[in-house]
Amino acid sequence: MESLTIGVFLVFGENDLWKLERARALGFTSAQMVRWPTGYFTGQEREDFKRALKQSGLQVTTVFCAYEGESYESREAVKRTIGLVPRETRAVRLAETRKIADFAAELGAPRIAAHIGIVPEDPADPVYGEVAETMKQVCDYCQGLGLEMALETGQETAACLRRLIGDVGRKNLKVNFDPANMIAYGSGKPLEALDLLGEYVVGVHCKDYHSPKEEGKFGGEARLGEGDVNIEAVIGKLWSLGYRGPLTIEREIYGEQQWADFAAAKALLEEIRAKVLRGSAP
C-alpha cells in the first residue's frame, strides 16, 4: 500500500452519488464520507450507493457519524448539540452510531469516526465519565464488526482526548487528526497535540483555518495553505511519528468552488508528499 495517498472528504445529501465519480476523475483514490444533514442510506438508496461506490473505484477509509439536531453555528451550539456529549440525545445517537458502523462494515471501510462533542476537561465532571462509558459501548460494537472508532480532534485539548482514550481503554479507539479544528476552536497547537496523540492517529483532515480573533468565536476557514495550520509541518511531523495513512482533504463549502479548492489542495499536497517522501520535510 502506498504511503500518504491523497483522499477527499465527501458530504452526501440527496441525489449526489455523482460526487464519487467526480472525485475519482480528479485523481483521488480514497474518500472519507458523511451523510448530512442526517439519516443513513437505507433500502434502495443503500444499494445504489454501494453500486456507485464500486463503479467509482474509490476506497472509503472512514464513515463519519452525523446526528439529528446537530449545529455548528456557534461554539455554544456545538457544546449543546454535537455528538455523544449531550445527555438528552445520547441513547438515540448511540443506536444511530451502531447503524452507521453496520453501514461502514458493509462498505468494507476500516472505521467510523465522529465529533463526539466537547468532552469536559475535568475528569471529575459526571459527563466525562458518562462519555467514557458510552465510548466503551461504541468501541465494543465496532470491535465486533472489525472496525476502529476514531475521535475527530479539535473541540477539546489533546490532553483531554488522550485521557479519554486511556480511560475508555479500548485498543480500537483512535484519532482522526484535524489540525484546522484545533486552530478554529482555539483548543491547542497542532504540532504539540501530535506529541500526545500521534500514536493514535489513523486519519488526517487537510483543512485550513485562521485563528479566532475574538474569544468564543471561530476563526474563518481558508483554502489549504492560506490559513494558520501549516499543513506541511503537520504532515512532516505525522510522517516522523510513523503515520503512513491517507491525507484527506476537507473543505467546508459547497458547489463548484469546493471542487476547485479540492483540486488546488490536491496539487499542494502532492508537492508536500513528494518532499516528505524524499525526506526533506521540516
Site residues (CB under 5 A) for Mg ion? 178, 205, 250
Nearer to Mg ion, 96 or 250 (CB): 250
Pairwise CA distance, residues 234 & 189, whole Å: 10
Distance, C-alpha 206 to centroid of its chain: 10
Counted residue by residue, the chain has a size of: 282
What's the min distance (Å) between Cβ of 32 and Mg ion? 9
**Burial of residue 229 (number of CB atoms within 10 Å: 0-12, 13-18, 19+):** buried
Supply 229's cell numbers: 495550520
Q: What is the nearest approach in angstroms of Mg ion to the Cβ of residue 278?
A: 28
- Shortest spacing between CB 43 and Mg ion, in angstroms: 29
Q: What's the closest the beta carbon of residue 251 comes to Mg ion, in angstroms?
A: 10
Which is closer to Mg ion, CB of 148 or CB of 178?
Answer: 178
Contacts of 184 (CB under 8 A, 6+ apart): 154, 209, 212, 218, 219, 221
Q: How far is the CB of 163 from Mg ion (least distance, A)?
A: 21
- Cβ atoms 197, 177 nearer than 8 A: yes
- Which residues lie closer than 8 Å to 215 by C-beta, 6 or more apart? none
